[in-house]
């Protein structure tokens, strides 16, 4: 069965819509309040954990993280990714996961080798710093030369005003801004873990993973007709220059949309401040643009890595993350992988007869390829051992530091906070209660405990694929620093001092889940 045929049965559609979000939120507010009340009642009756599980210290977790991030990137299907896959298989076996599976997933290795953007005007040539847009069309060595045409944000009405045929389209990319402070005040979330009270009414968060007018399509699904890219292509454009207008820095190395869909014409990103110049030049009749995007693509494979640590019962708690990354990927998702390894270290030291349930460890491939690894894994095993999984605890972007834009340099500036994050939890008070308990006891910073469908979509990240294709309950831990999906996602952005505390919080949460009656989940 082909990928398209298989995925047509169910697609994981992360389609962010302001209207759907608000309508869904109206329904969720009373439900969240009710679940929160019940969860607090459960906590009053909760007894202390009998089993003691000790998470590894920060130095050990950090060493794993350094090894995971020792290559420039872990892009799926590449030699670098294969090197780290082999390391993870070896490490899992070393830590006590005896039967480790390394299962292939077919992908296309799209790789850019040279890119450039030059605009000429009245004999003057201006080279613009740029970065390629993933999975778009390649040019020849000499590139494409054509007039520029500016289309604003590329809505349908914008294209009706101009003729883009045989031109290079310039468009502004929009990113949603989530008014977190106002949402907390308006709604009754499951819980807000913010011991330092750093979140106030003015706190907001730009969702830099969500390109509003250049959205991803579902893996194996239809293209998005509301995309500036496809609108330009359908009207005969030769290429696109996309300005990261709403990004909180001048960075241009954005990796997305990461849907695994190969696109026909080339596209390049420019930072928002270089974009000011590009926008002005695009409005001049004499301006000509030459864009170059050379590269190659070929069939390759990535690998899902997984294994089961047996316990007294075949019932399982699943602990997961994805191992691929666009760049160094310290946060996305080196920390998630290191945290999964930390749980394997902790729980493998507990004798099998003392582990109430089995633990399924899964490091999936291709999150940055439409979640192909998670989807293939879920589709393959949904009718077998995944039926024994009570909940998937998915870990991403752990201990990521917050950054803001430096007003003088327009670069990222690290603050004293961790990046704001969320725990997406299936709407069940018996799952919400132990998460609240773990966050309280370990003073987890700047985390919102929210329903899995908070955005009127499946849970964001890998957990959404497991929920959609295997109907798993989820607890999905994720932070959202602005450097995600950029070359700035480096080891210095991780708060090493918080690694142990976070790992212990996760260990205690798993410990609580071990004793929950199946019928309550």
Give pLDDT tens digits along the chain (521 positions). 333 333 345 667 777 788 899 999 999 999 999 999 999 999 999 988 889 999 999 999 999 999 999 999 999 999 999 999 999 999 999 999 988 999 999 999 999 999 999 999 888 999 999 999 999 999 999 999 999 999 999 999 999 999 999 999 999 999 999 999 999 999 989 999 999 999 999 999 999 999 999 999 888 888 999 999 999 999 999 999 999 999 999 999 999 999 999 999 999 999 999 999 999 999 888 889 999 999 999 999 999 999 999 999 999 999 999 999 999 999 999 999 999 999 999 999 999 999 999 999 999 999 999 999 999 999 999 999 999 999 999 999 999 999 999 999 999 999 999 999 999 999 999 999 999 999 999 999 999 999 999 998 888 889 999 999 999 999 999 999 999 999 999 999 999 999 999 999 999 999 999 999 999 99
The pLDDT score that the predictor gives to residue 250 is 95
Clarify whether residues 366 and 292 are in a common domain. Answer: no
Q: Record the tokens describing residue 345, joined without a space.
A: 């270290």
CB 107 within 8 A of CB 366: yes
Tell me, yes or no, whether 482 lies in a domain: yes
Return d(Cα 283, Cα 234) in angstroms, integer. Answer: 22
The pLDDT score that the predictor gives to residue 3 is 37
Q: What is the CATH number of the domain that holds 214?
A: 3.50.30.30
Return d(Cα 55, Cα 64) in angstroms, integer. Answer: 14
Q: Does an H or E element contain 75, and which?
A: none
Considering 298, 332, 361, which residue would you say is the last residue of a domain? 298
CB 356 within 8 A of CB 514: yes
CB 81 within 8 A of CB 319: no
Q: What is the CATH number of the domain that holds 331?
A: 3.40.630.10
Considering 256, 272, 298, which residue would you say is the last residue of a domain? 298
255 closest CA partner among 190, 175, 325: 325
432 in helix, strand or coil? helix
Clarify whether residues 347 and 333 are in a common domain. Answer: yes
The pLDDT score that the predictor gives to residue 353 is 95
CB 493 within 8 A of CB 415: no
Tell me, yes or no, whether 144 lies in a domain: yes
Tell me, yes or no, whether 1 lies in a domain: no
Return d(Cα 134, Cα 204) in angstroms, integer. Answer: 28
Clarify whether residues 306 and 161 are in a common domain. Answer: no
Clarify whether residues 360 and 427 are in a common domain. Answer: yes
Tell me, yes or no, whether 182 lies in a domain: no
Tell me, yes or no, whether 459 lies in a domain: yes
Clarify whether residues 81 and 226 are in a common domain. Answer: no
Clarify whether residues 409 and 452 are in a common domain. Answer: yes
273 closest CA partner among 248, 299, 238, 253: 248
Considering 271, 298, 325, which residue would you say is the last residue of a domain? 298
Clarify whether residues 261 and 148 are in a common domain. Answer: yes
Clarify whether residues 360 and 394 are in a common domain. Answer: yes
Q: What's the longest Cα–Cα distance across the chain?
A: 79
Tell me, yes or no, whether 194 lies in a domain: no
DSSP symbol at 498: G
Clarify whether residues 254 and 356 are in a common domain. Answer: no
Clarify whether residues 354 and 252 are in a common domain. Answer: no
CB 80 within 8 A of CB 73: yes
Return d(Cα 363, Cα 88) in angstroms, integer. Answer: 9
Boundaries of domain holding 234? 110-175+210-298
Return d(Cα 486, Cα 131) in angstroms, integer. Answer: 10
Clarify whether residues 359 and 490 are in a common domain. Answer: yes
Return d(Cα 350, Cα 153) in angstroms, integer. Answer: 55
Label the pairing between strands 288-309 and 144-150: antiparallel
Clarify whether residues 453 and 467 are in a common domain. Answer: yes
Return d(Cα 65, Cα 494) in angstroms, integer. Answer: 10
Tell me, yes or no, whether 196 lies in a domain: no
Tell me, yes or no, whether 205 lies in a domain: no
Tally the domains of the chain: 2
Beta strands of 352-426 (E only): which ranges?
A: 358-364, 389-396, 401-405, 412-418, 421-425
**Any bridge partners for residue 292, and if so which?**
116
Q: Record the tokens describing residue 206, joined without a space.
A: 């730009």
């Amino acid at each position: 069965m082909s990928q398209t045929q298989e995925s047509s049965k169910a697609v994981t559609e992360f389609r962010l819509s302001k209207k759907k979000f608000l309508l869904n939120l109206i329904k969720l507010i009373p439900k969240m309040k009710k679940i929160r009340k019940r969860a607090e009642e459960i906590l009053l009756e909760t007894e202390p954990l009998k089993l003691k599980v000790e998470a590894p210290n920060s130095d050990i977790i950090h060493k794993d993280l350094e090894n995971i991030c020792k290559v420039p990137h872990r892009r799926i299907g590449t030699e670098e990714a294969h090197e780290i896959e082999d390391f993870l298989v070896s490490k899992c076996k070393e830590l006590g996961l005896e039967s480790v599976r390394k299962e292939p997933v077919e992908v296309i290795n799209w790789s850019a080798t040279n890119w450039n953007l030059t605009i000429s005007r009245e004999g003057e040539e201006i080279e613009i710093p740029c970065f390629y847009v993933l999975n778009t069309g390649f040019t020849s060595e000499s590139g494409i030369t054509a007039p520029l045409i500016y289309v604003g944000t590329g809505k349908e009405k914008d294209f009706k005003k101009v003729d883009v045929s045989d031109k290079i389209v310039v468009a502004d990319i929009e990113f949603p801004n989530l008014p977190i402070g106002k949402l907390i005040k308006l709604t009754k979330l499951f819980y807000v873990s913010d011991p330092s009270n750093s979140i106030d009414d003015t706190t907001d968060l730009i969702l830099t993973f969500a390109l509003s007018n250049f959205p991803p399509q579902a893996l194996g699904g239809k293209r998005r007709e509301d995309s500036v890219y496809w609108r330009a292509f359908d009207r005969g454009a030769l290429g696109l220059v996309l300005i990261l207008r709403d990004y909180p820095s001048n960075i241009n190395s954005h990796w997305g949309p990461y849907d695994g869909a190969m696109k026909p014409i080339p596209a390049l990103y420019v930072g928002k401040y270089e974009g000011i110049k590009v926008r002005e030049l695009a409005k001049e009749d004499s301006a000509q643009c030459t864009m170059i995007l050379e590269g190659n693509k070929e069939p390759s494979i990535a690998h899902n890595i997984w294994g089961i640590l047996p316990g007294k019962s075949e019932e399982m708690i699943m602990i997961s993350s994805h191992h691929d990354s666009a760049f160094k990927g310290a946060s996305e998702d080196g920390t998630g992988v290191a945290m999964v390894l930390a749980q394997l270290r902790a729980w493998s030291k507990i004798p099998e007869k003392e582990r109430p349930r089995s633990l399924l460890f899964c490091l999936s491939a291709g999150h940055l390829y439409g979640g192909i690894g998670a989807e293939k894994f879920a589709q393959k095993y949904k009718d077998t051992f995944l039926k024994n999984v009570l909940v998937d605890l998915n870990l991403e972007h752990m201990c990521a530091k917050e950054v803001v834009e430096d007003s003088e340099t327009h670069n990222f500036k690290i603050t004293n906070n961790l990046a704001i994050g969320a725990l997406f939890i299936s709407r069940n008070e018996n799952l919400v209660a132990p998460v609240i308990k773990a966050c309280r006891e370990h003073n987890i910073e700047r985390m919102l405990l929210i329903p899995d469908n908070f955005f009127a979509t499946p849970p964001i990240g890998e957990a959404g694929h497991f929920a959609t294709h295997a109907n798993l309950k989820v607890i999905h831990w994720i932070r959202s620093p602005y450097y995600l999906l950029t070359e700035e996602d480096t080891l210095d952005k991780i708060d090493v001092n918080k690694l142990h505390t976070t790992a212990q919080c996760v260990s205690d949460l798993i410990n609580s889940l071990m004793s929950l009656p199946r019928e309550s989940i």
